[in-house]
A and B are shown apart, each in its own frame.
Chain A
Amino acid sequence: MAEAPLLEVKNLQVQFKTADGVVNAVNNVSFSVNRGETLGIVGESGSGKSVTSLSIMRLIPSPPGKIAGGQILFDGDNLVDFSESEMRKIRGNRISMIFQDPMTSLNPVLRIGRQMTESLQLHMGMTPKQARNRAIDLLSMVGIPAPDKRLDDFPHQFSGGMRQRVMIAMGLACNPELLIADEPTTALDVTIQAQILELLNRLKNETGTAIIFITHDLGVVAGMTDRVIVMYAGRVVEQASTNELFHNPRMPYTIGLLDSIPRLDGIQTRLTPIPGLPPDLLEKTERCPFAPRCDFVQEQCWSETPSLRQVAPEHTAACLFEIDREQRQAMAAKKIAEEQAALDAALEDVLAHEQAS
C-alpha cells in the first residue's frame, strides 16, 4: 500500500488561447493512478477529461494549448519538464493511448501491419520480421481472425469494432505500464461496445496494465473501474472508489448524473435531468462552477470556489455543504408535488369559471 503511485497528477493547469480570450480547460486537477489499477474519469463534453489525458501524453495541440502549471509525475519523473525527444520514448512505449473514433484514428493509406509494427520497431528495436510476428500475436490476442492475412489490409477494409480492436492491439504493443483509453466505445454500436469492454477487462487482467478510462457513460464506469474521478468545468469535483461513488455520491453534480440514468437494481426512482448548460470556461470567477445549475445552491456558493475535501474515508468532494442523494430526490418529489398542486388549482379554476358562465 505504501508503494508510490505509477502516475501522479498535481495541480495541473491547461489553457487554450482563443480569439475570445484564454480558456481554462483544466483547472488545478490532481489525481493519481496506482500500478495495475483502473481509474475512471467521468464528465460531460468540455469538462476537460480529454485535455487532461492528452496533457499526460504531452499531445496538447500547441499553440493554442499549453500546460500552464502543475506536475505530471510518471514513475517519479515530471513529464511536464521532459524534452520532446524524451517524451517520444514514453509515448507508445510506457504510456499509450486509444482514441475515441476508430474510423478516423487509423491512417487510411497505410496497411494495418505497417501501422502496428512501427512502434514495435521504434521502441523495442525489433526487426521487421520480429515486429510482424508480434503484430500477428497482438491481433489474435484482441480477437481478430486470420491475423496474418489481415495485417496486409487497409483500415477501410475493417469494421468500426474491428478497427478499435486494432487500436487496442497497437496500444498494448510495447507492454505499456499505463494505457489511456479516451472514450474508446463512444463511437461504437451498443453490442460492439460490450465486446470491446469485455476485451479491455480481459486484457487488463492478463497484462496488469494500469488504465485511465475516460468516459461520459456512468454505466461503463461501474463495470470497468476501481476508482472514479468526476470532472466538471475543468475541475475534479469528486473522487472515490467506484463502489463508494455509486452508493454515496456527495457532490450535487455527481448526484445529478446518477439521477439522470435509469437504475438497474430494481429501485424505482424518477429520472431527473440536470438543468442548464456547463459554464463558459473563459471567465475565471470565484464561485462554484456548478452553482448556476445546482439544486442546493446557497449564497456562499457564489463567492467561493469549493476545493476537494474529505467527506468519507478515501472519498473527496468539492462541495461546501453536506449534500446526499436522498435530499435531491426529496426535493424533486416536493417539486413534483408542488407542480401537481399548481396544475390542480388551475384546473379547478377553469372548472369554476365554466360553471359560473
Chain B
Amino acid sequence: MIGFIIRRVLAMIPVLFLVALITFFMMKQAKGGPFDQEKEVAPSTIALLNRKFGLDKPAWLNSAEFSNRLSTEGNPFLALRGLFDSQFGNYLINAVQGDLGPTYASKGTETVQDKIKETFPISLRLGMISLAFALLVGFPLGILGALRQNTIFDYFSLIISTIGFSVPTFVTGLLLLLVMSKVFDVAPIKDPSVWQGFSTSYIPPAIILGLGTMAYITRLTRSSVLEVKRQDYIRTARAKGLGDRVVILRHILRNSLIPVITILGPAVAGLVTGSFIIESVFRVPGIGSEFIGAIGSRDYSMIMGSTLFFSLLVALGNIMVDLSYGLIDPRIRNS
C-alpha cells in the first residue's frame, strides 16, 4: 500500500515538470511583457522591475554563471546550481519549496501563494458543494433510471443527464443567471463578504458547476447498474429468494459503484478546472476568477503558479481515487 502511494506520488513529478515546462515555454512565446501595459513606463523602471523579478537572467540555462562558478569553486557539482540560475531553474527550485514568486500585477508586493491562500478556500467550498450535489443527485438518478428502465423515471434521468453532459457549464450558468434576474428578480451578488464561509450564495454556481459531473455520474451509474443487473450472481441472489431491496442494496449497488469511482478522479479534476469559468460567470472571487484575471492582465507568474497548483490538485485527486478502489473491490485489495 505504502509502496503504491510512493510510486504514484513519484509518477506525479514528470507530469508537474512537463506542465511547468510547457507553461513556462508558452509564457515566453507570448507577445507583450507583464510591464508594458496601458501606461508608458520608463525603460529604467522596466529594467529595475526585470531585475527585481529575475527576468534579466537567461530563460532556461545560465551557462555564463556555470562557467563563472566552475572557475571560482572548482567543484562541478556546486557549479551546476549556477547553470540553473536561470528564470526557469530558479522558478522550479522556488516552487518546490512552496514559493511561486511575486505576482507581476502587484509589482512584487504580493506573492502568488498568498493569492492562492486567499482565494482557494472560496473555490474549495464551491467545489465541495458541487461535488456533494453531483454525488447526491447523480447516484440516485442513475440507479433509479436503471432499476426502472424504460419508464418515465428513466427518461427523466436520461434527459437531465444528456443535457448536463452535453451543454457547456457557462451556457447553463448564464441561462440560470438570466432566469434568476428576469423571472425571480434576484440580483447578481456584488458584496464579496458573502463568499467568506458557507452561504446560500454558493448554491447556484455550485449546482451549475456540478451539473456536468452529476450528469456523468448519472450516465455511468445507470449503465453500470444495468450491467450488474444482468450478472449471474444477481440471478443467484434472486434464486435465494432475497427481496428486491436486499438484492439492490447488498448485491447490485456495491458492484456498480466500482466503475463509477474510476471517474471520480477526472470528475474532481473537472470541478477544479471548470471552476474558473463558473466563478467568472457568477463573479465568485475564487482562484478561478483570479486566474481569468491573470490571463487578461498577462500576469505570467500568476498564470504559471495557478496552473501548477491546479495540476497538483488534479494529480492528487487521481491518487485518492486509485486508493479508494481497494476499499470497495476486494479483488484489487488483495492483489
Contacts and interface: CB of A to CB of B under 8 A. Distances in A.
Contact between chain A and chain B defined by CB under 8 Å: yes
Interface of A: 57, 59, 85, 87-93, 96-97, 99, 101, 104-110, 118-119, 122-123, 154, 156-157, 167, 170
A124 to B, nearest CB: 11
A157 B333 CA distance: 12
A29 B8 CA distance: 60
B190 interface: no
17 contacts: A87-B241, A89-B241, A91-B241, A92-B241, A92-B242, A97-B239, A105-B232, A105-B233, A109-B254, A110-B251, A118-B250, A119-B240, A122-B242, A154-B330, A154-B331, A156-B330, A156-B331
A118 B240 contact: yes
Given A92-B240, A108-B233, 13 more contacts: A91-B240, A104-B231, A104-B233, A105-B233, A105-B235, A107-B237, A107-B255, A109-B255, A110-B254, A119-B241, A122-B241, A156-B331, A170-B240
B98 interface: no
B238 interface: yes
B232 to A, nearest CB: 4
A106 B331 CA distance: 13
Contacts, number: 77
A89 B254 CA distance: 25
B241 A107 contact: no
B150 to A, nearest CB: 9
Interface in B226-281: 231-233, 235-243, 246, 250-251, 254-255, 258
Contacts of A157: 334
Interface in B287-335: 328-331, 334
A157 B335 CA distance: 11
Contacts of B334: 154, 156-157
A105 B250 CA distance: 15
Interface string B98-130: 000000000000000000000000000000000
Contacts of B235: 59, 99, 105
A280 to B, nearest CB: 24
A99 B236 CA distance: 8
Contacts of B254: 109-110
Nearest to B150: A63
A119 B250 CA distance: 13
A104 B246 contact: no
Interface of B: 231-233, 235-243, 246, 250-251, 254-255, 258, 328-331, 334
A167 B254 CA distance: 21
B225 to A, nearest CB: 14
A109 to B, nearest CB: 5
Given A154-B331, A156-B330, A156-B331, A106 B233 contact: yes
A88 B233 CA distance: 17
B142 to A, nearest CB: 18
A91 B233 contact: no
Nearest to B252: A107
A19 to B, nearest CB: 14
Contacts of A170: 236, 240
Nearest to B236: A105
B255 A104 contact: no
A107 B246 contact: no
A167 B240 CA distance: 11
A100 B241 CA distance: 19
A91 B255 contact: no
Given A59-B235, A99-B232, A154-B331, A108 B255 contact: yes
A92 B235 CA distance: 12
A248 to B, nearest CB: 36
Contacts of A156: 330-331, 334
B224 to A, nearest CB: 13
B236 A107 contact: yes
Contact of B239 (A59, A89, A109): A59
Nearest to A111: B330
B233 A59 contact: no
Contacts of A99: 232, 235-236, 239
A107 B239 contact: no
B236 A122 contact: no
B246 A118 contact: yes
A105 B173 CA distance: 47
A122 B247 CA distance: 13
A129 B251 CA distance: 22
Contacts of B239: 57, 59, 91-92, 96-97, 99
A104 B331 contact: no
B235 to A, nearest CB: 6
A298 to B, nearest CB: 42
Nearest to B228: A107
A101 B240 contact: no
A346 B236 CA distance: 60
Given A101-B232, A104-B233, A109 B328 contact: yes
